[in-house]
Structure 1
Amino acid sequence: MSTVIEQPVEARLVAAAPRMQSIPAALRYDRSDPFAVRMAFPAPATLEGVDVCWTFSRELLTAGLETPQGRGDVRIRPYGYDRTVLEFHAPEGTAVVHVRSEEIRRFLQDTGVLVPVGLEHLQLDLDQELLELTRDA
């Protein structure tokens, strides 16, 4: 069984223009980092022309489907019946994208099969992490 789930999603960039531009993006989940979800945007989709990846909690993404969530760099909220808004705040500015809620739900369902919610801690090798932290001490 694979330890990584990656799902392309259609993200629509909210801008000043009347029509939202579609940009490629992908949601990624890795069993070795069981609490985190990553959303990656390839270089052509970013203003800087470099790949950009945001990391946030699976719990935040799940809760953001139902009610506004987040107070930091990543904020997520439902938008209408079938969309979810993800806001990414950085010193350079804010990116706001819409993603179909069903795509997010499907992704979260797949992550739950790989690592059930509430059992993330079983994926961590705390002894190895502690060894790495204290190696140079």
Structure 2
Amino acid sequence: MSSVSHAVEVRLIAAAPRVPVIPATLHFDGWDPFAVRMAFPAHAALRGEDVCWTFGRELLAEGIERAAGEGDVRVRPYGPGRTVLEFHGAEGIAVVHIPTQQLRGFLDLTSALVPFGEEHLFADIERDLAQALDDVC
């Protein structure tokens, strides 16, 4: 197995009194061992299209324990058993709560594929460079 997909249920925090539960998917590819992708369905997005955020696996792991991130994605613990992810975009900020156990389970699966600290042994730098050059041209 070279990738892991993990379905999670998140609570979308909004101004409305009801906090909806929405499905989301965490994804990790062994060929891109530094990154995690989190996908949200179209009905949970402002534009009505599927949304996918890519951020560091290390950021997710650190954010479970203490506040982490300064850019578009920020992660922090929230009370017993919950973790908050904030996604900062042009349209505003989306905030979701996820049970911390679900995140730990996902990170355990990724670590079985690519142990933390050994990402450099699995990264396909030549492929990434070729893809980056294709994007420029």
TM-score normalised to structure 2 length = 0.91
Deviations 1:2-54 (A, max 9, x none): 11100010010001122211111010000010000011001122111111000
Deviation at 1:126, TM superposition (A): 3.2
Distance 1:4 1:38 in 2: 11
User: Is residue 105 of structure 1 aligned with residue 82 of structure 2?
Assistant: no
Aligned residues: 136
Give the 3-state SS of the residue equivalent to 1:26 in structure 2. Answer: strand
Q: 1:126 matched to which residue of 2? A: 125
Give the 3-state SS of the residue equivalent to 1:48 in structure 2. Answer: coil
Give the 3-state SS of the residue equivalent to 1:20 in structure 2. Answer: coil
Distance 1:88 1:14 in 2: 12
Give the 3-state SS of the residue equivalent to 2:65 in structure 1. Answer: coil
Deviation at 1:81, TM superposition (A): 0.9
Distance 2:131 2:47 in 1: 34
Distance 1:13 1:134 in 2: 37
Q: State the AA in 1 paired with 2:24.
A: A
Whether contact under 8 Å (2:32, 2:124) holds in the other structure is no
1:24-103 aligned at under 5 Å gives the runs: 24-103=23-102
Distance 1:55 1:132 in 2: 16
Distance 2:90 2:133 in 1: 33
Distance 1:19 1:133 in 2: 42
Deviations 1:104-132 (A, max 9, x none): 00000000001000111111233455566
Whether contact under 8 Å (2:24, 2:40) holds in the other structure is yes
The gaps in structure 1 that reach 5 residues or longer are: none
Deviations 1:59-108 (A, max 9, x none): 00000001111111000000001100000000111000000000000000
Structure number, greater radius of gyration: 1
